[in-house]
């Protein structure tokens, strides 16, 4: 990509949108302002139940995870926060970690608790945690979440993300209503333990790791629970957490209509919770989701600032840092295209029943090649013109392997 070609592309886009009254500078500053958090567990290789293939040079501790995210921030200028997971990321020296993060330009996004695994805690979560039939185990799971809040407070985080894997594998195993009621009461205790300026982000997922029933399987159940908690409890949408053929963009709209969208876990999928790189399978769906987000914010259904953004993918066969660079780029492109939608014309088509025209309006934006815009925004922010090329030409993975070792393995799944 020569810089002259970049400039010509930019000029053409500038002409195209300028003629519609959209100033390119305003586009560039919107794109530049949109930042997506990266989870600490996304920096190592992922895996499946059938095994895991090493990447090499994975971060061995929290400091190194921060360094990786700092690198992503420096190259892409699209991320400025990390989302930590407890117990995988318990900081030994809180002040040192905070300083390190600050020096890298990284803040602390929502904290993640873990009550889906056994990692040495007293009682097993095999039969559930916040929904467990046994009050003692529910209590343990509540206390774990309260501890996560404490750690988050010390770091400056402002949110708690709860992914509740609880459920059952066979009919009869769980009592659906009791499990739901138990979860409600457990979450109420956790919510009560949150500082007044925190929010609770509640995920839903139809299946896996449980294969018959999951306590919070859909947005409706998550919203039901949030309503019983309070205004600062909202529904988190993970793109891979839906049954086949779900219209996710409609769920986004419905949640914003209720001012109940907590935020996103970005990834992509073809079959289930595949955790593939965002934008690699269904880029048009990603664009349509951003159309709803921007529309919902512009029309005051829910404030843009109230929504959290995070990537959550599993890098089974890609270098995690390269994958994250691709994902940040795909998200930025989808966002930029959605900004370009001529919403006035779209409204007119909708009011007139002009179905063909409405499709044209959306595709006019989607088909536009916005790469020069995203690139320019990145350059203006001080990032690399082509982060992936830079990463490769600088042999960053090789250097990480040299430094951290071939068999370094990040904590996580």
Site for a copy of itself in 55-114 (CB under 8 A): none
- The yes or no reply on residue 124 touching a copy of itself (CB under 8 A) is yes
Q: CB-based contacts of 225: which residues, under 8 Å, 6+ apart?
A: 180, 183, 184, 187, 202, 216, 233
Of residues 96 and 399, the one with the C-beta less far from a copy of itself: 399
Chosen residue from 49, 122, 382, 393 binding a copy of itself by CB under 8 A:
49
Candidates 40-48, 64-72, 76-84, 143-151; binding stretch for a copy of itself (CB under 8 A): 40-48
Chosen residue from 29, 61, 121, 258 binding a copy of itself by CB under 8 A:
258
* Separation of alpha carbons 224 and 183, rounded Å: 11
- The yes or no reply on residue 127 touching a copy of itself (CB under 8 A) is yes
Pick the closest to residue 347 from 336, 337, 362 (CA basis).
362
- The yes or no reply on residue 349 touching a copy of itself (CB under 8 A) is yes
Return the H-helix or E-strand segment holding 224. Answer: helix 219-229
Chosen residue from 123, 388, 390, 401 binding a copy of itself by CB under 8 A:
388
Candidates 3-11, 71-79, 98-106, 138-146; binding stretch for a copy of itself (CB under 8 A): 3-11
- The yes or no reply on residue 271 touching a copy of itself (CB under 8 A) is yes
Of residues 189 and 274, the one with the C-beta less far from a copy of itself: 274
Q: CB-based contacts of 156: which residues, under 8 Å, 6+ apart?
A: 98, 107, 108
Tokens representing residue 396 in the block: 């960053």
- The yes or no reply on residue 10 touching a copy of itself (CB under 8 A) is no
Chosen residue from 245, 344, 382, 393 binding a copy of itself by CB under 8 A:
245
Binding mask 177-206 vs a copy of itself (x if CB under 8 A, - otherwise)?
Answer: xx-xx------------------------x
* Separation of alpha carbons 86 and 308, rounded Å: 19
- The yes or no reply on residue 304 touching a copy of itself (CB under 8 A) is no
Candidates 11-19, 61-69, 81-89, 147-155; binding stretch for a copy of itself (CB under 8 A): 11-19
Chosen residue from 139, 193, 272, 306 binding a copy of itself by CB under 8 A:
272
- The yes or no reply on residue 300 touching a copy of itself (CB under 8 A) is no
- The yes or no reply on residue 47 touching a copy of itself (CB under 8 A) is yes
Q: CB-based contacts of 315: which residues, under 8 Å, 6+ apart?
A: 42, 44, 45, 46, 55, 323
* Separation of alpha carbons 194 and 159, rounded Å: 8
188 phi/psi in degrees, rounded to 5:
-65, -40
State the residue for tokens 């400025």. 80
* Separation of alpha carbons 78 and 332, rounded Å: 8
- The yes or no reply on residue 50 touching a copy of itself (CB under 8 A) is yes
Q: Which is it for the CA torsion 277, 208, 256, 196, positive or negative?
A: negative
DSSP state of 342: -
- The yes or no reply on residue 331 touching a copy of itself (CB under 8 A) is no
Instruction: State the minimum distance, in angstroms, from the CB of residue 131 to a copy of itself.
Output: 11
Instruction: State the minimum distance, in angstroms, from the CB of residue 292 to a copy of itself.
Output: 7
Candidates 24-32, 56-64, 87-95, 295-303; binding stretch for a copy of itself (CB under 8 A): 295-303
- The yes or no reply on residue 169 touching a copy of itself (CB under 8 A) is yes
Instruction: State the minimum distance, in angstroms, from the CB of residue 220 to a copy of itself.
Output: 2
* Separation of alpha carbons 99 and 105, rounded Å: 10
Could you tell me which residues are beta bridge partners of residue 264? 237, 309
Chosen residue from 12, 94, 96, 303 binding a copy of itself by CB under 8 A:
12
* Separation of alpha carbons 281 and 283, rounded Å: 6
Instruction: State the minimum distance, in angstroms, from the CB of residue 305 to a copy of itself.
Output: 19
- The yes or no reply on residue 171 touching a copy of itself (CB under 8 A) is yes
Q: Using omega within 30 degrees of 0 as the cis cutoff, is the peptide bond preceding 209 cis?
A: yes
- The yes or no reply on residue 333 touching a copy of itself (CB under 8 A) is yes
Q: Do strands 81-83 and 107-108 pair parallel, antiparallel, or not at all (unpaired)?
A: parallel
């Amino acid at each position: 990509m020569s810089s002259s070609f970049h400039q010509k592309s930019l000029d053409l886009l500038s002409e195209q949108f300028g003629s519609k009254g959209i100033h390119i500078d305003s586009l560039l500053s919107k794109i530049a302002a949109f930042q997506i958090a990266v989870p600490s567990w996304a920096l190592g290789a992922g895996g499946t139940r059938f095994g895991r293939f090493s990447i090499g040079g994975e971060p061995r501790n929290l400091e190194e995870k921060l360094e990786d995210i700092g690198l992503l921030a420096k190259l892409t200028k699209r991320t400025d926060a990390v989302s930590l997971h407890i117990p995988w990321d318990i900081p030994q020296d809180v002040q040192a970690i905070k300083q390190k993060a600050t020096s890298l330009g990284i803040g602390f996004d929502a904290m993640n608790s873990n009550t889906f695994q056994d990692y040495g805690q007293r009682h097993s979560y095999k039969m559930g945690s916040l929904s467990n039939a046994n009050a003692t185990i529910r209590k343990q799971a509540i206390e774990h979440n309260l501890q996560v809040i404490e750690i988050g407070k010390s770091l400056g985080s402002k949110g708690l993300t709860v992914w509740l894997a609880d459920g059952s594998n066979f009919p009869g195993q769980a009592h659906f209503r009791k499990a739901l009621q138990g979860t409600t009461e457990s979450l109420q205790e956790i919510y009560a333990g949150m500082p007044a300026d925190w929010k609770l982000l509640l995920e839903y997922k139809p299946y896996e790791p449980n294969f018959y029933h999951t306590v919070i399987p859909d947005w409706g159940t998550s919203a039901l629970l949030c309503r019983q908690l309070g205004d600062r409890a909202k529904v988190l949408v993970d793109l891979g957490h839906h049954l086949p053929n779900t219209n996710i963009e409609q769920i986004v709209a419905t949640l914003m209509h209720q001012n109940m969208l907590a935020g996103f876990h970005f990834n992509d999928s073809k079959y289930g919770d595949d955790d593939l790189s965002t934008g690699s399978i269904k880029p048009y769906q990603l664009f349509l989701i951003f159309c709803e987000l921007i529309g919902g914010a512009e029309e005051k259904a829910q404030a843009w600032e109230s929504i959290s953004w995070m990537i959550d993918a599993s890098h089974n066969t890609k270098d995690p840092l390269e994958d994250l660079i691709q994902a940040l780029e795909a998200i930025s492109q989808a966002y930029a295209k959605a900004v370009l939608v001529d919403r006035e014309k779209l409204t007119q088509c909708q009011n007139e029943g002009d179905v063909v025209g409405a499709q044209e309006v959306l595709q006019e934006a989607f088909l536009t090649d916005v790469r020069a815009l995203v690139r320019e925004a990145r350059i203006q922010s001080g990032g690399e013109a082509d982060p992936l090329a830079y990463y490769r030409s600088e042999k960053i993975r090789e250097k990480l392997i040299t430094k951290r070792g071939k068999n370094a393995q990040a904590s996580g799944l």
